[in-house]
Homo-oligomer: A and B are copies of this chain.
Amino acid sequence: MRPLFHPSIDDLTVEGILHALSDPVRAHIFAEIAGAERSQTCSAFLEVSDRTVPKSTLSQHFKVLRDAGLIRSERQGVEMHNTPRCDELERRFPGLLKAIIDAHKRQTERQRTRRRRRA
């Protein structure tokens, strides 16, 4: 297994981070990983908000998140354990992640209330 690439915190770009989180599936995955107590495997996200994500696509998504410096992935046995790099990111770009995750939360909450109102 070729060791997974993780960029140094100094090489991270805002563009990369925004691009990674501009996809709803990736944003969801990252929010979950960032909010979870323990590391999450990739296959935990084969279903995201009632939609099936093919595993090749999922693998790409994780690569994008890794390359953007948002998560760290390490193999443990047969599965991959993903953890957020929040502390480093917070030092490099203070407040950025929190603002984005908050905005996403705000949006999904609103979507829920809107849907409820329609129903």
Contacts and interface: CB of A to CB of B under 8 A. Distances in A.
A95 interface: yes
A105 to B, nearest CB: 10
A119 interface: no
Looking at A13, A18, A92, A102, the one whose CB has the most chain B CB atoms below 10 A away is: A18
B99 A96 contact: yes
A107 interface: yes
B19 A22 contact: yes
A93 interface: yes
A23 interface: yes
Nearest to A93: B103
A100 interface: yes
9 contacts: A14-B27, A14-B100, A14-B104, A14-B107, A18-B18, A18-B100, A19-B19, A22-B22, A98-B99
Given A14-B103, A15-B24, 7 more contacts: A14-B107, A16-B22, A18-B22, A95-B95, A96-B99, A96-B100, A98-B99
Interface of A: 13-19, 21-24, 27, 92-96, 98-100, 102-104, 106-107
